[in-house]
Structure 1
Amino acid sequence: MTAPPLFRAAITSSTFLPSQYPFNDRIPELIYSEVVAQANCKSGKDCLDCLRSVDANTLQAINKEISANGFFGTFVFVPVVDGDFIIESPTKLLKRHKINSVLLSVTNSFEGASLVNQSTASTVDVSEYISQLFPNIKANAIKAAVALYADLGTNIFQVNAIMGESIFICPTQLLMKAVGKSAYKENLRYRPVYMGRT
């Protein structure tokens, strides 16, 4: 929160908040290790120094390869909480109401479906999906989530809802709660249409 505020009002559309990890969490460490290995920087004394000398085209190819093999609908390379540039996760800051603005937040119905591989409709397992979407989630939380969504219909509909609510709807509600009485919500009834897709 700044004084004076940096802006008077804001509009968010499809408030997107994927999992964000501390820099030394096992998830970013695994990704870093994979980049180091693909860049042939594993054997040197200083892996980071080696990476800095790798050709940009090689790094771009590594980025593309790792991202393509990531969990469908998620971004592999996201900012991490380093305690310096990003001091805390947005989720923790919002819970402490660290925001000052008038806010309009817009969501779309069934938006999670665009980030779920619909070709897995006949094979997707809800419990496994949750564990892959949230790699650090505990077994009891997976069980609770499965039970919460069990009555929604088919497995693919359930995972569409899980993706949409966890990545878009819940962050929107958290943001609005942080702003308080100056927050307004709009929901578009239909799923958004993307270029080249129907």
Structure 2
Amino acid sequence: MKADQPAQLGAFGFLSSDEVYRKGVANAGILDQQMALQWVQQYIHLFGGDNRKVTIFGESAGAGSVMLHDIAYGGTLGTSLFRNSISASPYLAYQYGYKDWQPSQSYYAFASAAGCDARNAYLHNGSTPIFDCLTSKDTATLMEANVNVSQSGTWGTWSFLPVTDGRLITERPSKQLLEGRVNGLNHLAGHNALEGASWVPPNIDTIDDFVDYLRVIFPNFSNNDIAKVLLYYPMSNASVSPNAADYATEGSYGPTTINESTAATGQQQRAIAIYGETTFICPSYWLAEAYSDNGYGGQGWKYQFSIPNAYHGADGPAYFSNPADTDYYSSDFIVAFMTMLGNFIVNDDPDVSSLINNGNSTGNSTYNPASQWPPYSIYNPVLMDFNTTCPYTKEIGGLPYCTGPGELNTIRLANAYTWEGGRGTRCDFWRSLGELVPE
């Protein structure tokens, strides 16, 4: 699942309006993926595969796509397309109805940019409807219109996104996941410690800046809703200054990500925390919970990738590096992380041995509690924290990474609900506001 699919496909995958719904199809990008999954089911045996053991895996918007396949058709598909699913930082943008104001305005903006003026939306005096006009345009014209409209949005937003169409996607993810109506059997949900840092404008210094930012990203919020956000994301007096020291939080004690990180402090970090939790982190909680004792014999597991910088996408080298390539992370960590993923795919369980969790190179097979990773549940909301010591930082692409000789695995179990000063409570809060966000 391509991680930045909405950004790349734009209107070609996610153009939506009442006219698109009537004359074409909404969520074309997700339907294309579904067709690929159907192809896999039909032909995987020719490649030595077993269509009963398919796992789908996505990161960022790709993980958002996985989430939509998990809830497709109201969660009525069972294991007909896949058995397991993995979401790494599942991207949940505003999910409007297919003909709501926002997708409709993007549709009209796209039409105007392509030379199909919105004033010709209906047949009269021989004019051509927008949809018919668009289908007559050449690819280069549509590509240019797609780029122009996609680049016109506010910071951290996209013009063309998946929508609730009543067919493929019947509910907001936050609502349907709460009801546990999902496809597939098991799910592994992960997020990074500092998901929001790259997506928030870098000039939020005062409380007024912060409230103005909230009004931009949550245009449906009343003053009371804004007040509730301030309550759930309190500002510590020790961290009000934007010049305070930057450091990674411990997660289970001490200052929290609401006020402190390696990216920022004060109101800037407060905004980063909100964007990260609403867009990537809380959806991963909701996915793990949805698969918990889902009535079909399946389970969900939850983890956090914490090695600084732990920005959105920083976990990529842990998924795809050769263990001998230690530019980003140690060989011991890469082996542990990849083994976790492999065990989930092959064995339906992400447990990893004590030796591998402690670090292969150490030869230390002493019992590590993390080697017995229980499934996530409301009654026992367990999170696996994947981290290492940080002997020194190495700058790669302008960002500091903890790596180098002496880097040791520090993989541990924690309470996901109380993590980072009560993240579970904050995710419950965001779900309660799903109709206003919407998500």
Range of TM-score over shorter length: 0.7 to 0.9
Show CA shifts across 1:36-91 (max 9, x none). Answer: 22223224331111122122222222221222221211222102222234333323
1:64-143 paired onto structure 2 within 5 Å? 64-99=147-182, 100-118=184-202, 120-122=203-205, 125-143=209-227
Show CA shifts across 1:171-195 (max 9, x none). Answer: 1111111111411111111314389
In terms of Rg, which structure is larger? 2
Gaps of 5+ in 2: 1-74, 124-128, 236-257, 260-265, 294-298, 317-395, 400-439
Q: Which residue identity lines up with residue 180 of structure 1 in the other structure? A: S
Residue 198 of structure 2 aligns to a residue in which SS? helix
Aligned to 1:183: 300
Q: Report the alpha carbon displacement of residue 166 of structure 1 after superposing the two structures with TM.
A: 0.3
Gaps of 5+ in 1: none
Show CA shifts across 1:95-151 (max 9, x none). Answer: 221124222111110111122233x24478222222222333333222211332241
1:1-198 paired onto structure 2 within 5 Å? 1=75, 2-42=77-117, 43-44=119-120, 45=123, 46-99=129-182, 100-118=184-202, 120-122=203-205, 125-151=209-235, 152-153=258-259, 154-181=266-293, 182-189=299-306, 190=308, 191-192=310-311, 193=314, 196-198=397-399
Q: Which residue identity lines up with residue 148 of structure 2 in the other structure? A: E
Q: Report the alpha carbon displacement of residue 156 of structure 1 after superposing the two structures with TM.
A: 1.0
Cα RMSD, aligned residues only = 2.3
Superposition TM-score, scaled by structure 1 size: 0.86
Partners of 1:197 and 1:63 in 2: how far apart? 30
Q: Report the alpha carbon displacement of residue 11 of structure 1 after superposing the two structures with TM.
A: 1.7
Confirm or deny: 8 A CA contact 1:176 1:184 kept in the other structure: yes
Percent sequence identity is 32
Q: Report the alpha carbon displacement of residue 22 of structure 1 after superposing the two structures with TM.
A: 0.2
* Distance 1:54-1:188 versus aligned 2 partners, 3 A rule: same
Residue 12 of structure 1 aligns to a residue in which SS? strand
Superposition TM-score, scaled by structure 2 size: 0.42
Q: Which residue identity lines up with residue 28 of structure 1 in the other structure? A: P
